[in-house]
Homo-oligomer: A and B are copies of this chain.
């Protein structure tokens, strides 16, 4: 289970890729397990299967809770399988009373990725690619649950999470993930609740986790070309394999199961807040920034686009509507300028 380097396998030895626009076959119902022993590179099969079961349960419990909060719309489920093993289930809610668009997407992927995609998949990618021949592809297994919720009310923040388990050949494995929040208006109590919930989750597993993963989120969710963050952070981690996989599994499970307590109360509190047309426009401009981050920088999005993932599932993260106004600057002293300051200078919330 050590962080062993991938062996120098040739592209022609890699399992077939079979990934493309047409390689996702819709099915009425996903099989009980999308993970199958023998598929993909050799590795820790029991962990693959446990991780899948854990995120399947989380997908159901989170979408049930969101449907209750919305009170009107239901999630539509699309399941698919992929030619060389793996598959997924997308659950998407649209035209809700509270949510404009919400999606929770599970996928299990076997394949071989080009070296560029490896760099998108992991921060260690660049190092790891050093021993590889030009054009060599990396066989991998990936299993993850990702989610974006875009509420209607500008006083309700957007929330995103992603929890994933990865293996590449040569016995390399890691956990990655995080939950983060993107308000259009700053409410410090809400931020204390959200960050406080995740601090508690982290502290149950390692007191060093929260400060480290909070700082990592602040660094990761930066729109570099604007020198501002997408939102107000949360936790983010990647390449996590510094202790037994069991322990990291328990941490990921605790984190994914804390999404509803961290986020739900904020939505319940603000879903009926009054707002002006101008506040709605500001929210849509911040959604434009969300689009910029996701299409230009987001690791999962770039990885998905480069490995030929299911496009509608990958881009489910984009808001229903986004807006760009030329050279827009909030009035000094306004609530919009207030949150811009927090996007420019990361703050501590707990």
A residues bordering B, Cβ < 8 Å?
21, 78, 92, 94, 101, 103, 224-227, 284, 288, 291-292, 295-296, 305, 308, 311-312, 314-316, 318-327
Question: Do the beta carbons of B321 and A284 come within 8 Å of each other?
Answer: yes
Minimum-distance CB pairs A-B, first 8 = A295-B295, A318-B324, A312-B327, A225-B305, A92-B326, A21-B227, A322-B322, A321-B323
Q: How far is the CB of A229 from the nearest CB of chain B, in Å?
A: 14
- Cβ of A322 and Cβ of B92 under 8 Å apart? no
Q: Which of A227, A284, A325, A326: most chain B CB closer than 10 A?
A: A326
Knowing A226-B311, A295-B291, A295-B292, the reply to whether A103 touches B326 (Cβ < 8 A) is yes
Q: Which of B78, B224, B327 contacts A78 (CB 8 A)?
A: B327
Q: How far is the CA of A228 from the CA of B296 in the complex (A)?
A: 19
User: Copy number of this protein in the oligomer?
Assistant: 2
CB-CB nearest in chain B for A306: B225
> Are B311 and A225 within 8 A (Cβ)?
yes
10 A-B contacts (beta carbon < 8 Å): A101-B324, A225-B308, A225-B311, A226-B311, A291-B291, A292-B295, A316-B326, A320-B323, A320-B324, A322-B323
Residues of A contacting B: mostly: mixed
What are the residues of chain B within 8 A of A292 when measuring CB–CB? 295, 315
A308 surroundings in chain B (CB, below 8 A): 225
Q: How far is the CA of A262 from the CA of B302 in the complex (A)?
A: 36
Instruction: Please report the C-alpha to C-alpha distance between residue A182 and residue B348 in the assembled complex, in whole angstroms.
Output: 46
Q: How many whole Å from A293's CB to the nearest CB in chain B?
A: 10
Q: Chain B: which residue is nearest A76 at the CB level?
A: B326
- Given A320-B324, A322-B323, 7 more pairs with CB closer than 8 A: A101-B324, A291-B291, A292-B315, A295-B296, A296-B296, A312-B326, A320-B323
Q: How far is the CB of A188 from chain B (nearest CB, A)?
A: 27
CB distance from A345 to the nearest CB of B (A): 14
CA A319 – CA B318 in complex, angstroms?
Answer: 15
- B325 contacts A320, CB within 8 Å? yes
Taking CB atoms, residues of chain B closer than 8 Å to A323 are 320-322
